[in-house]
């Protein structure tokens, strides 16, 4: 006999069930269910937190307030196999591009305050290295600063580039590692893969330690334009997902 499922698993099952009902997979006449995008995305928020605030385990990232173009690209990347996660792929595989865009727009318009950052666990030297890589880069190794693409305040650039603040350290490590190993991909040319493969393990740790310990500014909305590149800065690689 199987053990009773955990409360989290039961919650996820009910959310997935409700999500499929909203998509018309089963009749809904006997259930009180409003056909709103908030109800239809219950399957998303079961893992990504209420209103897409982020999951409690440090791995499922925030969806709320991210640029719609970025969210749509990620949904399409899962659907087309550039990103690998069975649950995500199974949920969105039958959905049309128009529906994916509607989901992306819905989450992009949710502007919810961020919680305080987790305290840093690294040494001052590691944090200083991370700060330099994020804000300045390393011209000798052809590493552009993170702010060059993700905005001077690191809150993202419309319509395709996400913010980096407010993300858990474990998630940042996992995604940079995924690009390094090819487990995460984007539209070609894949600029993040190019950059991530130039990073050492120490670089990844320093970047994630510094970013995850920084507070998110009160205005966390993605900006309209990238900052101007300073003289002598490394050239930005071509980016198919954020032209």
Round to whole Å and give the CA distance between 215 and 148: 19
Average pLDDT over residues 78-83: 94
Average pLDDT over residues 147-176: 96
162: CB partners within 8 A, 6+ apart: 66, 67, 70, 150, 156, 222
For 133, the 3-state DSSP assignment is helix
Round to whole Å and give the CA distance between 145 and 152: 10
Tokens of 103: 């989901």
- pLDDT number for residue 234: 87
Q: How confident is the model at residue 38 (pLDDT cuts 50, 70, 90)?
A: very high
Average pLDDT over residues 24-39: 60
Strand partners of residue 223: 157
Q: Which is more confident, 158 or 28?
A: 158
Tokens of 113: 């305050």
What's the alpha-carbon Rg for the chain, to the nearest Å? 19
The pLDDT tens digits of the residues spanning 119-150 come to 999 999 999 999 999 999 999 999 999 999 99
Indicate if the pLDDT at residue 217 is higher than 80: yes
pTM of the predicted model, to two decimals? 0.85
- Runs of H (alpha helix) within the chain: 7-22, 37-40, 42-48, 68-79, 86-92, 97-108, 124-135, 147-150, 169-181, 191-196, 201-212
Give the number of other Cβ atoms within 10 Å of residue 111's Cβ.
Answer: 10
């Amino acid at each position: 006999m199987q053990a009773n499922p955990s409360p989290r698993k039961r919650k996820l099952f009910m959310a997935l069930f409700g999500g499929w009902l909203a998509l018309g997979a089963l009749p809904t006449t006997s259930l009180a269910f409003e056909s709103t995008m908030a109800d239809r995305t219950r399957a998303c928020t079961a893992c990504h937190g209420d209103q897409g605030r982020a999951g409690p385990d440090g791995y499922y990232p925030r969806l709320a307030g991210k640029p719609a173009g970025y969210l749509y690209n990620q949904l399409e990347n899962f659907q087309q196999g550039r990103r690998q996660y069975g649950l995500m792929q199974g949920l969105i595989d039958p959905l049309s591009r128009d529906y994916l865009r509607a989901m992306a727009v819905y989450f992009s318009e949710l502007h919810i305050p961020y919680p305080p950052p987790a305290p840093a666990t690294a040494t001052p030297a590691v944090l200083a290295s991370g700060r330099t890589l994020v804000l300045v880069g390393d011209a000798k190794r052809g590493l552009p600063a993170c702010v060059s693409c993700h905005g001077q305040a690191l809150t993202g650039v419309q319509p395709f580039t996400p913010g980096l603040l407010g993300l858990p350290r474990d998630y940042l490590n996992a995604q940079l590692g995924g690009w390094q190993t090819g487990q995460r991909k984007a539209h070609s040319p894949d600029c993040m893969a190019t950059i991530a493969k130039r990073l050492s393990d120490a670089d990844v740790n320093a970047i994630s330690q510094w970013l995850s310990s920084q507070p998110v500014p009160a205005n966390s909305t993605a900006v309209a334009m990238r900052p101007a590149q300073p003289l002598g800065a490394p050239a930005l690689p071509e980016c198919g997902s954020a032209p």
